[in-house]
Amino acid sequence: MPATYEGIMSDLRKRIFKPVYFLAGDEPYYIDLITDYIAEKILTAEERAFNQIIIYGEDTTVNAIIETARRFPMMASHQVVIVKEAQALRKIEDLLLYVEKPLNSTILVFGYKYKVIDKRTKLYKALDSQGVYFESMRLRDYQIPPWIERYLMTKGIKIDPDASAMLTEFLGTDLHKITNELDKLLITMPAGKPAVTTALIEKNIGISKDFNNFELQKAVGEKNIYKANMIVNYFAENQKDNPVTLTIASLFSLFTKILTYHYTTDKSKNNVAAALKIVPYFVKDYEVWSKKYSAAKTIQIIGLLRTYDMKTKGFGDVSTEPGDLLKELIYKIMH
């Protein structure tokens, strides 16, 4: 069974240790959380002075790491060896020599960010049997709103679905960035109001609750021409903070979901949410928007979005300002 963050942390808190932790994948958030816990909690402050070593991949070799890992701890039950930026190591396969016969008094940790180990190799099989091999994979955009809700729930805070969708649209899928913004937001929250709203986000993070891609999606979906024009005019005047390529990508996501809704036979709430990869709260919106845009019209709009995406990148139109291209695109979509 693949190692999970929750499983690893549960064992560490119970002081059940493995001799090797190989933390890989393109989402550094969980890699850093596990590494920081091991660095801060396994040894006492006095023990760390003699028994904790932090090494950087670009400054060492696999053979040097093995030599360090084979040392015995001084006046402690364990030594901790942490290899940061391990993805910079050459000949990582040479680690097999140690992993097959690790020293149980050493806790050897690799932060192998943005890369993974080939699961067909002997090294992977040895890591899986003798230690912990953990892959921290970046979440998809549709997974972020529920992740934000769970993160805040652990702190006794609720968040409006519109607010979590707005944060996702603005912050993307970088969990470090998201948690930094959420933690700053929590500090500013008024006492006795344990809920994050769009108004609170606008006030403290700087995202406009009226002029953002999430609101543009809703305005276009509802065929609210006045509101859509207000937003694209704002975007045209503030292009640095509202790149047209991101807006087109957001609209492309909207219309591919509307098209998926049209071709989903079972339109029960949970089935639609699974098919569109959205939280069930937003299913009702797609039910309304699909009535505004037929399947044929939706396919036509997706073609338009592809054409204007190319135009904003200089293919077929090198003279029109990006803001004007966006206004033209929105007009064609909604008329």
pLDDT (mean) for 188-192: 76
**pLDDT surpasses 80 at 294:** yes
**pLDDT surpasses 70 at 287:** yes
Query: Do 20 and 132 form a contact (C-beta atoms < 8 A)?
Result: yes
> What is the SS3 assignment for 27?
coil
- CATH annotation of 213-334: 1.20.272.10
Residue 268: the pLDDT is 93
Structure tokens belonging to residue 285: 């919106």
Query: Do 274 and 261 form a contact (C-beta atoms < 8 A)?
Result: no
Distance (Å, whole) CA 325 – CA 307: 11
Residue 196: the pLDDT is 87
Q: In the CATH hierarchy, which fold is given to the domain comprising 5-135? A: Rossmann fold (3.40.50)
pLDDT digits (tens, 9 = 90+) for 8-63: 999 999 999 999 999 999 999 999 999 999 999 999 999 999 999 999 999 999 99
Distance (Å, whole) CA 112 – CA 56: 11
pLDDT digits (tens, 9 = 90+) for 251-278: 999 999 999 999 999 999 999 999 999 8
The secondary structure of residue 43, as a DSSP letter, is: S
What's the Cα-to-Cα distance from 227 to each of 17, 217, 223, rounded to whole Å?
57, 11, 9
Task: Please report which confidence band the pLDDT of residue 208 belongs to, taking 50, 70 and 90 as the band edges.
Answer: confident
Residues of the chain with CATH 1.20.272.10: 213-334
Residues of the chain with CATH 3.40.50.300: 5-135
> Around Cβ 50, how many Cβ atoms within 10 Å?
13
Q: Could you tell me if residue 118 is left (phi over 0), alpha (psi between -120 and 50 degrees) or otherwise beta?
A: beta
Distance (Å, whole) CA 69 – CA 108: 7
Show Cβ contacts of residue 330 under 8 Å, excluding neighbours closer than 6 positions: 220, 228, 229, 232
What's the Cα-to-Cα distance from 120 to each of 13, 105, 126, rounded to whole Å?
31, 28, 11
pLDDT digits (tens, 9 = 90+) for 92-147: 999 999 999 999 999 999 999 999 999 999 999 999 999 999 999 999 888 999 99
Residue 318: the pLDDT is 64
Residue 149: the pLDDT is 92
Residue 202: the pLDDT is 78
Q: Which residue has the higher pLDDT, 188 or 226?
A: 226
Residues of the chain with CATH 1.10.8.60: 141-204
Name the pTM for this structure: 0.76
Q: At what angle do helices 322-334 and 244-262 cross, to 10 degrees?
A: 20
- CATH annotation of 141-204: 1.10.8.60
Q: Concatenated DSSP letters for 45-79?
A: HHHHHHHEEEEEGGG--HHHHHHHHTSPPSSSS-E
